[in-house]
């Protein structure tokens, strides 16, 4: 077991419980990390998610409203996101797009990132 350490927030006397932060400041640190990350990213439109993409996305979800991964596992779940199989957000060929629920899309995207397959 590691020794208890003070919170990383300057001036906070509480002991760290969440990756170096106390319970009060743990959420603030995560929000700040997200803000820094978002500030470095290009806008959604610059990454290929523009008005044209929204039309393609709506068409894919209308044609196949259920999550394809959940269906393969025997579950019925509404698809709310569309995944690019090749990781390229500008390749909107219908055979490259898969309707997925949020958890399945997150899982696939993480796997693609680990495999170096992302076009972002």
Global pTM value = 0.66
Six-digit token pair at 12? 């906070």
Q: Would you say residue 60 has pLDDT above 90?
A: yes
Over residues 57-72, mean pLDDT: 97
Q: Would you say residue 120 has pLDDT above 60?
A: no
- What is the model's pLDDT at position 34? 76
C-alpha 90/C-alpha 49 separation (Å) is 8
- What is the model's pLDDT at position 118? 65
60 phi, psi to nearest 5 deg: -60, -45
Summarised one tens digit per residue, pLDDT across range 19-33 is 788 888 887 777 777
Which of 27-36, 71-80, 108-117 is the least confident region?
A: 27-36
Tell me the H-state helices in 1-120: 23-40, 51-63, 68-72, 102-114
């Amino acid at each position: 077991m590691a020794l208890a350490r003070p919170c990383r927030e300057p001036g906070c006397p509480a002991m760290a419980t969440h990756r170096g932060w106390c319970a009060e400041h743990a959420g603030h640190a995560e929000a700040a990390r997200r803000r820094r990350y978002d500030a470095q990213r290009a806008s959604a439109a610059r990454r290929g998610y523009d008005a044209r993409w929204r039309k393609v996305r709506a068409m894919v979800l209308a044609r196949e409203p259920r999550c394809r991964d959940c269906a393969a596992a025997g579950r019925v779940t509404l698809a709310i996101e569309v995944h690019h199989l090749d990781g390229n957000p500008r390749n909107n060929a219908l055979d490259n797009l898969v309707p997925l629920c949020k958890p399945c899309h997150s899982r696939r995207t993480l796997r693609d990132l680990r495999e170096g397959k992302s076009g972002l």
